[in-house]
Structure formats: structure tokens, C-alpha cells
Amino acid sequence: MPQYLVAIHHPDNYVPSSEDPAMIEDIHALNREMIAAGVRIFAGGLSAASNAKSLRAKPDGGVLITDGPYLETKEHVGGFWILETADMDQAVAWARKAVIACRAPVEVRDFLFRPVPKEATEQH
Amino acid sequence: MTDSHKTIEAVWKIESTRLIAAIARVTHDIGIAEELAQDALVTALELWPEEGIPRNPAAWLMTAAKRRALDFLRRGSMLVQKHEEITRELEFQQQQLADAMDQALDQVIDDDVLRLIFTACHPVLAVEGRVALTLRLICGLSTAEIARAFLVPEKTLGQRIFRAKKTLSEAHVPFETPRGDELRERVASVLSVIYLIFNEGYTATAGEEWMRAALCEDALRLGRMLVQLLPSESEVHALLALMELQASRSRARRGSKGEAVLLKDQDRSLWDDAQIRRGLAALGDAQRLGGGAKYYALQAAIAACHMRARTAEATDWERIVLLYDALMQISPSPIVALNRAVAVGMAQGPSAGLAAVDEIAADPALAGYHLLPSVRGDLLMKMGNFIQAYEEVQRAITMTQNVREQELLTERLK
């Protein structure tokens, strides 16, 4: 069954502890509903983008590691779900609920492929 | 179909179960509850394309359904008006309905959904009625979709659903979760309905289509739902494990031309690792709950033996024979015995396998079952008895209606 990334975008100065009880309960309720409907594969909230480490290849073949997010934008992914639904339309229907529960914009992406570990292929 | 119609359909698939379950709590009749929920859907189909999708479609549908349900109860009260007592009773009922639906707007109504599942799978219904009602009420499939999946005319399917609802209503089946001794029996009925839906999707009994993925997915979704609703029932976890493990092979079961590929010939790198892990975890849950030796748990354990083997040769056939022995103890059937014979053939050699097959070959339940000559043909081939093997495989071809299986068998003759 196809899987979808449902990502929540939070402003850079977002403080998770500022979430009010009603919002927290809404998010819990949505999670329960997703589990009950058998669509939730994974869910998680990320810590602030400022805690991120960014890595990029250097021309000399090495890797440059810097503190902070890769893109300097005002909003970053703050948390996400991996949902398994029949199609994009249903993933979007769930994302509608996420917009309300999280009070934040949401992006839905479909997985193009899920790679199989190479060793499994070589065994063959 | 326009975009807003697609959106409405997607929203409906997600919301309809809870909607119907909430209304049924008060109307005590899932047929009426479904009709009222359908009315709300019709209103949405009229209004949303014009006015846009509401911000909270679930709440919108629930409010619309509530309004219709209240109208329905009022109509009922008109019929019996002047009876003050009854009117009071109906007023009470209306208030109860309003409260129930307000509540349903705010919370996940697991208990109602569970009641809905138990009612749709009630033993008073014929099995095909249970399947149709479950797909309709809990999976949100349309009559046309169910008819397509089961290759029956839409009209036939519509009548099947109508009859099932009527039976429930006439038998005064209560909208409730069974308790005590009855619970176990009723859970078994629910599980068999889900597994039937899964198997109908996994191996079509007739026709061109080898696999109808949507039915498998719906069955898996039902299985995952039920695990949340009945977390202490080991067989619920076991059935989910069995379905996850079977479904994890989906991509490997079809060749490039759509032909069937047998387990032993499958490209195991195409198996879905994440799904296998989920299946094994669910099997672990069933075993931890003390249900390791029950019906679905044993079948899931057999599937797990296959999924754990990196190559067909590495399969632990000895263990599979033991698991089939245990399965024969609790649920003896000629089909299980035949599968056991295949495992014996793999573990102890083709002649031991053939001996096991011949022990059960006279069972009238296996007469006309194409896998019997198919298995015999396979074992005879391995023993080098090609002429007899050829005859058996030809017999198998004439017995199956599934075109893909016929192709597969014909391939073996070459």
C-alpha cells in the first residue's frame, strides 16, 4: 500500500512547550484516530531546527558539517507522520485534520520507492 | 470525477465508520444509521462543490447527520403522537441522540466502532452478508465497489446488503459488544470475516485478476483497527500478523507479465521488509498474550518460517511440519492436512510427502480441489515418475477456474 509523508511546518521560533492543552489533546486525538483507522505507520516531533547538523560534500571529497538547518528559511519541518493509505486523496483527507489539530501548515509527499537493503538482493 | 468529488469520497472513506457508529448508538439500527449517514453524504455532494470543502469536514458531516437523525426521530414521534408517555420517551431519545453526536464530534468513539463491527459480523447473518456489511459500513466501500471486488452484479450485492440489514433489524440484534463467553465466539466470527476479505483479495477464486489489492488493504486496515479495539485478544494480533506476513510478499507474487510466481521461486528481495517486521511483531504480541498455539497464531508462525528464510532452501521445513501438526490438533481439516503433506515432502523427501498425501486423498472434501493433483504431480515429478506427474498436473488444470493458476500449471507441463 502506498505510504505518505505528512509533514508539519513550524515557524523557526516555535516553542513546543507553548502548545496549549486543547491543542495537545487535539493532536493526541488525531493520533488515536489514525491508529484506530490502521493508517499510522510512524509519527514523531522534531526538536528545534537550530539543533540540526547540516552536512555537505566539499570539493576535496571531505564533508563539511555545520550547526543549524541546511536551508535558512523562516519555517522548518517540526514533526511528521508516515501514513499508509489507499491513495493521495485519502492522505490529503488526513492532512486536513492535521492542519486543524496542529494549527500549522502541512505538506503531503508520496514515497516514490522504499529501497530494499542491498544485502538481501546479493544473497540471491 | 471532479476534484471536490474525489475529496468528498476520500473524506467519506475516513469518516463514515465513526458517523454510522455514532448514529447507531441512538437509533440501535445500523441500517437506519447508514441511511442517515448516506443522506449527510448526499448533502455534502450537493453543497461542497458549490461552497467549497468545509474547514472541518468531519464535524460538518456529523452535524448534518445529527440533523437528519433528529428529523428521523421526530417523524417517528408524529406517528405515535398524543401518547404523552411515548412523546416524553422520544424527547428523551432526541436529547440522548443530540448528546451522543455532540460527544462523537469531540472524541474517538472506539466503543461504538467496535459495536458496529460486532453487529455487522453477527452470526445471525449469512457469511456473505457479513462480508458485504463489513466492507460497506466499516471500510466505507460503495455497493458498486464491493460488487466489482466480488465479481457479482451491483444489483445482487445491493440486495445482499438490504437483506442483511433487514435480518439484523428483524432479529432485534442489539447494538452492543458481547461479553463473557459470547465474546470469544463473536470475535472468532469477526476474524473469519476479515480473513475472508483478505483471502478474496489475495487469491481470487475465479476470473482474470490474480490479486485485488484493495480488498487486502481493507482487510489489513480492519485488522489494525481491531488490534487497537481488542488489545487483549491474542488471536486478533495473530490474524493481523498472518495478513501482514502474507501481504509482504505481494510484489513478488506476480512476474513481469502478470503471471503467478510460487513462493519457492519468488525474488525475496521484493518482499516488504517493514511489513515483515510488523507481522513478526504482531505475532510476538499474540504469543506474549499466551495465544501461540491458537488457530491464526499457528498459521502466522508458519508464514513467519517462510519469511525468515533468506532463500527457499533455507526454509525450516521441520518446524513447519511441527506447526502443521499442532494446527491439525486444534483445527483438523483436509486442506491443512494437504499443506502438512507438502511440508513433509520438503522436510523428509518426496516419497514421505506422497505417502502423507495418499493418506488423505480419499477425503471427499478434497474431491475437485485442484491442489490435490497439483501437489501429487509435484511430488511424483521429484521422484522422477514423469508420466504419472503429467497426468496429475493435467487433472489439476481442468479443476481450477483461475486463469493465472491454469497458466502456472500449464507452464509446469513444459
Does residue A20 belong to any structural domain of this protein?
no
Amino acid at A123: Q
- Choose among A36, A89, A96: nearest Cβ to B108: A36
DSSP B354: H
Q: Which of B121, B115, B119, B120 is nearest to B189 (CA)?
A: B121
**Running DSSP on this structure, what letter comes out for residue B141?**
-
DSSP A19: -
- Report the complex ipTM: 0.73
B274 contacts chain A (CB < 8 A): yes
Instruction: Could you please state the CATH topology (level 3) that the domain comprising B316-414 is classified under.
Output: 1.25.40
Count of domains observed in chain A: 1
Q: Mutate which of A82, A94, A97, A102 to test chain B, going by most B C-beta atoms within 10 A?
A: A97
pLDDT higher than threshold 50 for residue A49: yes
Residue A118 has pLDDT above 80, yes or no: no
Helix (H, G, I), strand (E, B) or coil at B316: coil
> Hey, is the C-beta of A89 within 8 angstroms of any chain B C-beta?
yes
Instruction: Look up cell 451491483; give the residue.
Output: B154
Q: Give the model's pLDDT for residue B113.
A: 87
| Look-up of cell digits 433489524 | B169
A96·B217 Cβ contact <8 A: no
User: What are the φ/ψ torsions at residue A66 (nearest 5 degrees)?
Assistant: -125, 155
User: What global pTM score does this model have?
Assistant: 0.82
Check A1 against B273: CB less than 8 A apart. no
- Rounded CA-CA distance B73/B90 in Å is 7
Using a CB-CB cut-off of 8 Å, the residues of chain A touching B9 are 89
Nearest chain B alpha carbon to A37: B225
- pLDDT of B207: 45
Chain A residues in contact with B273 by the CB 8 A cut-off are 116-117, 120
pLDDT in tens, B288-307: 999 999 999 999 999 999 99
Is A35 within 8 Å of B228 (Cβ atoms)? yes
CB contact under 8 A, A89 and B9: yes
- Per-residue confidence (pLDDT) for residue A56, from 0 to 100: 93
CB of A124 within 8 Å of a chain B CB? The answer is yes
Are B14 and A94 in contact (CB < 8 Å)? yes
Within an 8 Å CB–CB cutoff, is residue B103 touching chain A? no
Vertex A70: Cα angle to A69 and A76 (nearest 5): 55
Q: What CATH number should be reported for the domain holding residue A89? A: 3.30.70
Low-confidence ranges of chain B (pLDDT < 70): 1, 76-88, 90, 97, 100-109, 204-211, 404
Quick check: A96 pLDDT over 80?
yes
Query: What is the residue range of A96's domain?
Result: 1-13+38-50+75-112
Is A118 within the bounds of a domain?
Answer: no
Whether the CB of B217 is below 8 Å from some CB of chain A: the reply is yes
Which amino acid is located at B79 in the chain?
L
- What does A32-51 look like in DSSP terms, one character per residue? HHHHHTT-EEEEEE---GGG
d(CA B275, CA A3): 12
Residue A56 in any domain: the answer is no
How far apart, in whole angstroms, are the C-alpha atoms of residue B95 and residue B88? 11
B208 contacts chain A (CB < 8 A): no
Give B 37-76 residues with CB within 8 A of chain A: 53, 55-58
* DSSP per-residue letters across B154-219: HHHHHHHHHHHHHHHHHTT--SS---HHHHHHHHHHHHHHHHHHHHHHHS-SSBS-S--HHHHHHH
What is the CB neighbour count within 10 angstroms for residue B198? 23
Amino acid at the residue B146: I
Please report the pLDDT score of residue B101 as a whole number.
65
Instruction: Please check whether residue A80 is in contact with residue A98, taking contact to mean a CB–CB distance below 8 angstroms.
Output: no
Cβ B10–A39 below 8 Å, yes or no?
A: no
Going by pLDDT thresholds of 50, 70 and 90, the confidence category of residue A35 is confident
Would residue A79 count as lying in a domain?
yes
d(CA B337, CA B360): 7
Query: Could you identify the residue written with the cell 463467553?
Result: B181
Position A81 pLDDT exceeds 50: yes
